[in-house]
Structure 1
Amino acid sequence: MSSRREAMTKTCWDLRAHVLISLALVLCLSSFTACADKFRVSEERQRQLQEEKGRVHCSRSRSRTVRAIVSEYLMPFVKDQKYTLPKTCRLHPDNDVYHEQEENMIELRPMQWQCGYCKKIFRNQGFLDLHFDNRHSEKLEPSSNSCLADACGALHCDYYNSLSSKPQIQATCKLAVVEKNRHSCEVLANTCFPADHSPAAQRLNHFFKRQFCDAHTCKKKLKIFPSGSGINRNKSLIYALTLFTVIVLAIFYAILYLIKRDTNLLRKGLRRASFRPPCKVQKE
């Protein structure tokens, strides 16, 4: 009886030992899994931080708007003065983080764009933008002053984008924002066109402030881009007028040709009639 009790006690202790060992193994396994997950999350976080560090935080669309404004409302006047933007100017192409990629963005025809690096074809510009971000990010050269989108406030990007919408949206004038944009605009004018650099730079400095900076005010309504566009925005109208002129000239010369041809035929007929011998009348 005593030996049987001892055997049962030993069995109970063995079961307890197995349970404790199993619990210890489960705890160790859970701890190991948690550590592995924590390490994996930490590694993933480090990878994300590395990607964030190398990623360019600059709006491509707003940079494109600034580029369009500069190309249309500034550079034609700069070229007229035979002036070259200094490298210190934020609007210089070398200070545009997307400049090289934009040069390799080829519009073959409407709804068809091509990557200049790998020659792939895309249905719209948005897909090509994503392609550049994912496949050709090494072509970017980010620097502290390379984001053209930062000049959006100074150069009236929102107004420029609203030109295509009817009616134009009238935003509430906020004095703090206006003063900040005016200051940024004047800094651009003074760094891109130093007044003491040359007579051309002085003229362009005044032009830039009149074209872009003076409208940054809440006191009175001033026209934005008062000097207008340096290039003709109505290219389609020019093409239509050119085509109309060509058609009118073609019709005019066709009518002239027909008149000349009929005149020549009439002259030949008269000439033949004059040389024809008179008909003799037979007497009965």
Structure 2
Amino acid sequence: MPEVHCSRERSKAAWKVIEEYLMPYVEKERYQIPRTCRLHPDNDLYRDQEQHKIRIDIYEWQCGYCKKRFYEEKFLDKHFDNRHHNLLNVSHSRCLADVCGALHCDVAMGAAPHKTKCNPAAAARNKHLCEGLADSCFPVNQGPSANRLHEFFLRQFCDALTCTGRQKPFSQGRKKRRMSISYIVISVLTLMLLLLYYTYLYIYRSGIKRGTQDLKRVSLTQSGRKKKPS
């Protein structure tokens, strides 16, 4: 298996940016990102492994391939590197970390770019990369939705790739992804079942309490009768 030189952490940061700052707008337009776009999920080298992470609890993660459990996500990442390295699709997938410069991954990772001096040449390279992503992911000749998303991508990501500091990354904001109908239905059914359960529990406990009180009342009545002189 060839050695892979691709930062998992920066790839995760890039995917986080895509999910939070791009995909909600793409879904709103009902647009399908083409496979030729480097931001397509199938082109992310680590996407399949990330989808095989199961978070059981706050301190418990499980490998979706072999079911082994870990206390922290970083140990699961190491497990993937050591035990499931052969599952990486290195022939067809690409390193998502390579587009971090265009997607402002440092901002998403909590880095402080204002503390480092801006490199005009690096900013120009990243802007060129960003504009290339806009062209390949949202070709303007593919209809109104692609045209709008192309313009949005330039404003959201590319405009801030200068050393002037006038434009901030993610200037178009962030939207929450829409919940699927099935998720909403399952949530409503779960709430209804919980409501029915607690209603039944309340009635059941009230019945027991009432029955206990009735028994005490009967017991006291019988005791009073026994104490009366014959």
**TM-score category of the 2 structures, normalised to the smaller one:** 0.7 to 0.9
State which of 202, 205, 208 in structure 1 corresponds to 2:153: 208
2:90 matched to which residue of 1?
A: 142
Q: After TM superposition, which residue ranges in structure 1, 4 or more long, deviate above 2 angstroms?
A: 168-171
State which of 166, 169, 176 in structure 1 corresponds to 2:121: 176
Superposition map of 1:1-284 within 5 A = 54-143=2-91, 146-162=94-110, 169-231=114-176
* Separation in 1, partners of 2:36, 2:55: 31
Q: Give structure 1 stretches of 5+ with no counterpart.
A: 1-50, 233-284
Structure 2 counterpart SS, 1:108: strand
Please tell me whether Structure 1 or Structure 2 has the larger radius of gyration of its CA atoms. 1
Change (3 A) 1:144 1:192: same
Amino acid at match of 1:204: L
What is the TM-score of this pair, normalised by structure 2?
0.73
2:222 matched to which residue of 1?
A: none
Contact 2:61 2:71 in 1 (8 A): yes
* Seq. identity, %: 49
1:137 Cα offset (Å): 1.3
Contact 2:36 2:136 in 1 (8 A): yes
Provide the aligned C-alpha RMSD in A.
1.7
* Separation in 1, partners of 2:30, 2:116: 37
Q: Which structure's relative contact order is higher, taking Cα pairs within 8 Å and 6+ residues apart?
A: 2
1:219 Cα offset (Å): 3.0
Contact 2:42 2:93 in 1 (8 A): no
Structure 2 counterpart SS, 1:83: coil
1:220 Cα offset (Å): 4.4
Contact 1:66 1:152 in 2 (8 A): yes
* Separation in 2, partners of 1:61, 1:69: 13
* Separation in 2, partners of 1:99, 1:120: 19
Structure 1 counterpart SS, 2:109: helix
* Separation in 1, partners of 2:165, 2:88: 41
* Separation in 2, partners of 1:128, 1:219: 41
1:145 Cα offset (Å): 5.8
Amino acid at match of 2:157: F
